[in-house]
Amino acid sequence: MATARRSLDEALHSVQGLRALPEHARDEAEERAWEQLRQALREARMQPLALSCVPEGEAAATLRFLAAWAAKRRVLRAKVAEGLRVLFGDAGWLRAARGDAELLASLESLFPVPERPLPARAGPGPGGVPAEGGGCQQQAPAPEDPALRQEVRGALELLASALGALRRLDWAFPPESSQNADRDGAVDAFRSLFLGVSRLSVAARRAGTDQARRGRIALALEAHSADWPGVLRFLADLQRHRRVFSSQIASVVVKLTELSPVFEGALEEAPEGELFGTSAAAAATAAVGTAPEAAAAAAGGAPGASPPAAALSERARAERAVFEGSRVQALYEGRWYGGTVVAVPAEDPEGRWIVQCDTDEPGVLTYAKSVSSRVEAFYEGEWYRGSVVSVPSEDPEGRWAVQCDADPPGTVTFTTSVRLAPAEALPAEPEARGPKAESQHKTAEASPAEPEAR
C-alpha cells in the first residue's frame, strides 16, 4: 500500500500547489496534476486502503479540482467520473463531497454521489493520542465472504484455462485455410474468456462499495498482465473473422477495463486501442445509477467519451446497468430456477440470458430465452412496478417492455428507464435439480404471446 499512498500524496501536493500559481502557468501544471492523480487512482483501485486518512480539506480541494477539470476538458468527463467512482469507495472522500453543497452539486453532474450511511468519525487512538492523520484510523479490510471467494476462484480458473488456449494459438484466430477443429477450439477459448471475465464482473458487483474486495480481484488479474497485449490482438483478429461475436468482444474489453487498471493501461498503449476505444471504462460509468437521467445516460453514452465508450452497444450498457449480477428466475424446460445473471441478451449472439442457477455447480450455466424479474418502469413521471417482457436489444427503438401490475395482462409499457424493484417475496423455489454432467450449456426456449402495447 505504501507505493499507492505515496503516489496519492504526491498528486494531492500537486493539486494543492495550483492555488499559488499565476494564471499563465496553470494550464501545464493542471495537466501534470491530473495525470499524477489519474495514475494514483489507478493504483488505489488495487490498494483501496491508500485512500484512507486524507484530511477532509485536502479531499474537498481535490474534488473541486476534478469538477473544474471536467468542466474545462469535457472530453475527459468520463475519465474524471471513473476517478470519482474510485474515490467514493472511501468514507472520508464521500464525507468531503457531502460536506459542501456547492461542491456536491458540481459533482452530481459528473457522477451520482452515493447515499450510503457513513461511519462515525474516528476518535483518538490508543491512550488518547490522536491516530496518524489527525484522528483518522484506517479501516480494516472486510472479512472474507466464502461464497464470493469461491466465485472469484472459479472465474479465475476459467480465465486461466482460456488464456492458456489462446497462448497456444499465438494470440491469433486460425485462418480460413486451417482445419475447422482449430477454429472451433479458438471460439471455445473465447467463450471461456467471456464467461470467466463476466463471472469476475459479477463478483466485483457483488462486492459493491467494498473497495478492498474489488482490489483483491484487480490484484489477482495482475498475474495475467503479460497476456493482455496478446488478448487484445486475438480479440481484434476474432472481430475481423467472426463479427457475430462483436458484442461479446466489446463486453470483454469493457469489463476487463473496469476490473484491471493494468489492462486499461495495455488498452491505451496497444495498436488495437483505436479499434476498441481507449476509454471503455466510460461505458460502465455512463450506465451507473437508476434514475431516469442515469438511464438516459446509459442509452446515450457518456458525454465526451471516446469512440468505443461505444465499444459496448448502448443497449448492452443499459441491460448490464440493471441486470448484471442481479437475481432472476430462469425458465428451463418449462420450470423456473433461481440464479444470478452472468450476461445479458445484448451480449449473446443469440439474444439469450446467461444465468448461474443456484442448483448447478459453479460454471454450469443456463442459457435462457426468458427470465422473470421484478422491476420498476418509469412512465409519465411515475415509477410502476411490474415484470420485464422484453429488453432493449429486442426492440427496434431500444426500449424496455414491462407488464406493469397496474395494467391488465397483455398491456405493456414501453420505456427507456427501468430499475430493479426493491426485494419482495419471491415464488417458492422449484424442486432442486442436479447439475447436468453431460453439458455445460442449457438452452431454455420460451415463446410468450405478443402483448398489447400502450
Q: Are residues 424 and 355 in the same domain?
A: yes
* Residue-wise pLDDT tens digits, 348-378: 888 899 998 988 877 688 899 889 889 999 9
Number of compact structural domains in the chain: 3
Domain boundary pick from 278, 311, 344: 278
Q: Are residues 102 and 13 in the same domain?
A: yes
- DSSP assignment of 44-73: HHH-GGGGTT--HHHHHHHHHHHHHHHHH-
- DSSP assignment of 368-406: ES-EE-EEEEEETTEEEEEEEEE-GGGSTT--EEEEETT
Domain assignment of residue 181, yes or no: yes
Q: Are residues 107 and 212 in the same domain?
A: no
Q: Are residues 94 and 8 in the same domain?
A: yes
Domain assignment of residue 176, yes or no: yes
Look-up of cell digits 468520463: 78
Task: Give the CA dihedral 42, 45, 48, 51, nearest 10 degrees.
Answer: 40
Is the pLDDT score of 444 beyond 60? no
Domain assignment of residue 136, yes or no: no
| pLDDT-based confidence at residue 173 (cuts at 50, 70, 90) | very high
Q: Report the alpha-carbon distance of residue 86 to residue 11 in Å, rounded.
A: 15
Q: Are residues 157 and 95 in the same domain?
A: no
* Residue-wise pLDDT tens digits, 288-297: 333 333 433 4
Report in angstroms the alpha-carbon separations of 430 from 173, 331, 335: 42, 11, 7
pLDDT of residue 212: 66
Q: Are residues 331 and 393 in the same domain?
A: yes
Domain assignment of residue 316, yes or no: no
Task: Give the CA dihedral 40, 6, 36, 141, nearest 10 degrees.
Answer: 10
Q: Are residues 272 and 152 in the same domain?
A: yes
Nearest 5°: phi and psi at 293? -65, -40
pLDDT of residue 39: 87
Q: What does the DSSP 8-state code read for residue 178?
A: S
| pLDDT-based confidence at residue 132 (cuts at 50, 70, 90) | very low
Q: Are residues 156 and 266 in the same domain?
A: yes
**Which domain range does residue 264 map to?**
146-278
Domain assignment of residue 315, yes or no: no
- Provide, rounded to the nearest whole percent, the portion of the chain with pLDDT above 70: 76
Domain assignment of residue 241, yes or no: yes
Q: Are residues 100 and 182 in the same domain?
A: no
